[in-house]
Amino acid sequence: MPTVQLGHQLALNENPYGPLPSVRAALTGALVAANRYPEFLPRRLPGLIAERLGYPPERVVVGAGATGVIMHILQEFVTPGAGVVMATPTFDGYPLLTDTVGGRVVEVPLTRDGHQDLAAMSAAVDQRTAVVVLCSPHNPTGTCVGHGAFAEFLERTDPSVTVVFDEAYIDFVPPGDRVDTAMLVERHPNLVVMRTFSKAYGLAALRVGYAFGSAPIITRIRRWQLPFGMTALAEAGVRACYAAEDELALRTETITQECARLASGLRDLGYRVPASAANFVYLAGCAPAELDRLRTVFTRDGIQVKHCTTGIRITVGDPAATAAVVSAAR
Ligand code: PMP
């Protein structure tokens, strides 16, 4: 029996829609062979993704979500005590996993309008820096890094530093607003671009993330893959999603529109909400008393959100969730 969920789960930036019937059918089909191991090291799955991106397979590495991929990147490039530069606040996984490999978290505050401060991040890079992580759209603010600013950032970054560009939410961004990562990975062999099937593709439970970049950097990250580490369901799910791109794009568009409605509903109440290009919004710069009040009313109404130090991140759900959030905040 599926668990019945009361209230609104808006804390994890999940897709509010369950798998499409075609994707569910493919997953059910894959379950029939659940007694069999998947591939020893994944070849078909990265091959599928590489083909879609127009790369040879050796330029794509897969992992247990983007979380698994970032873990392997840090394992490969961060020696004990080496610095990992990141914004703050940011995706919790970066500092958490940096700690597990013995790295030193170097945090650079966001600008007042919720952007990663690329100049300050460059200034934070020194001889002990191993990795810089940027995230676009940024978690928790939803703001994007511009192509020009990122290209310049890469130009002034020492090529011995690995630059991770996390595009977990890229499918929610209009194509014209995206960084041309395909061009930049050709120019910068130290750049790794990460993506995931957990968000727009709605496969968070299957744990599929990937990264692409130059063949040498991807080869190094692949050293950390676990034997039999990716499931057969992951491969079936990705294949089925690729066959249903148009239907999934309609859902993504629906979420994008709902995001605009949620943001404007909250702005109408006087909250500062940075322009989000993802499936969540951020109530920025809230005073502690206001954060407490929101925590109380959201809990009362069964609305789960993500509480950050100076704000609250709210995932875009269905129209009922938007109504519930706006009504509670009012
Ligand atoms: N990167 C960012 C920016 C995220 O927000 C998340 C999930 N919240 C992830 C990576 C990890 O996603 P997953 O491991 O499910 O692919």
Write the burial class of residue 239 (CB in 10 Å: 0-12 exposed, 13-18 middle, 19+ buried).
Answer: middle
Residue 83 CA to residue 105 CA, distance in Å, equals: 6
> Is pLDDT above 80 for 1?
no
Are 8-17+245-329 and 21-241 equal in CATH topology?
no
Length of the chain: 330
Read off the amino acid at residue 47.
G
Q: How many CB atoms lie within 10 A of CB 330?
A: 10
How far, in Å, is the centroid of ligand 1 from the Cα of 12?
9
How far, in Å, is the centroid of ligand 1 from the Cα of 91?
7
How far, in Å, is the centroid of ligand 1 from the Cα of 69?
10
Contact 87, 107 (CB under 8 A): yes
Confidence of residue 35 (pLDDT cuts 50, 70, 90): very high
Give the per-residue pLDDT at 219.
Answer: 98
Residue 297 DSSP SS3: helix
Q: Which of 198, 201, 276 to mutate to test the pocket of ligand 1 (most atoms within 8 A of CB)?
A: 198
Residue 23 DSSP SS3: helix
Q: Give the model confidence (pLDDT) of 253-275 as tens digits.
A: 999 999 999 999 999 999 999 99
Identify the residue whose C-alpha is closest to ligand 1 atom 10: 66
- Percent of the chain predicted with pLDDT > 90: 95
Residue 69 CA to residue 241 CA, distance in Å, equals: 20
Where in the chain are the domains? 8-17+245-329, 21-241
Q: Give the model confidence (pLDDT) of 114-134 as tens digits.
A: 999 999 999 999 999 999 999
- What architecture (CATH level 2) is domain 21-241? 3-Layer(aba) Sandwich (3.40)
* In CATH, 8-17+245-329 is 3.90.1150.10: yes
**Alpha helices (runs of H) in 163-231, residue ranges in sequence order:** 181-187, 215-222
Q: Which of 166, 170, 197, 282 to mutate to test the pocket of ligand 1 (most atoms within 8 A of CB)?
A: 166
Q: What is the ipTM of this complex?
A: 0.99
Closest Cα partner for 224 from 59, 63, 94? 63
Q: Is the pTM of this model over 0.90?
A: yes
How far, in Å, is the centroid of ligand 1 from the Cα of 66?
6
Contact 2, 306 (CB under 8 A): no
How far, in Å, is the centroid of ligand 1 from the Cα of 208?
10
Residue 192 DSSP SS3: strand
β-strands 280-283, 312-315: how paired? antiparallel
What residues line ligand 1, using a CB cutoff of 6 Å?
Answer: 13, 65-67, 91, 93, 135, 139, 166, 168, 196, 198, 204, 209
Confidence of residue 302 (pLDDT cuts 50, 70, 90): very high
- Count how many Cα atoms sit within 13 Å of the Cα of residue 148 in the half-sphere of its side chain: 0
Closest Cα partner for 248 from 206, 209, 208, 200? 200
How far, in Å, is the centroid of ligand 1 from the Cα of 237?
18
Give residue for tokens 């997953």: 27
For residue 68, the ligand 1 atom closest to its alpha carbon is: 14
For residue 204, the ligand 1 atom closest to its alpha carbon is: 15
For residue 64, the ligand 1 atom closest to its alpha carbon is: 14
Confidence of residue 310 (pLDDT cuts 50, 70, 90): confident
How far, in Å, is the centroid of ligand 1 from the Cα of 279?
12
Residue 192 CA to residue 20 CA, distance in Å, equals: 30
Residues 65-104: b if buried by 16+ CB within 10 A, e if exposed = bbbbbbbbbbebbbeeebbbbbbebbbebbbebbeebebb
Q: How many CB atoms lie within 10 A of CB 124?
A: 16
For residue 12, the ligand 1 atom closest to its alpha carbon is: 8
Contact 176, 170 (CB under 8 A): no
CA distances from 2 to 5, 157, 166 (A): 9, 49, 32
DSSP 8-state assignment for residue 189: T
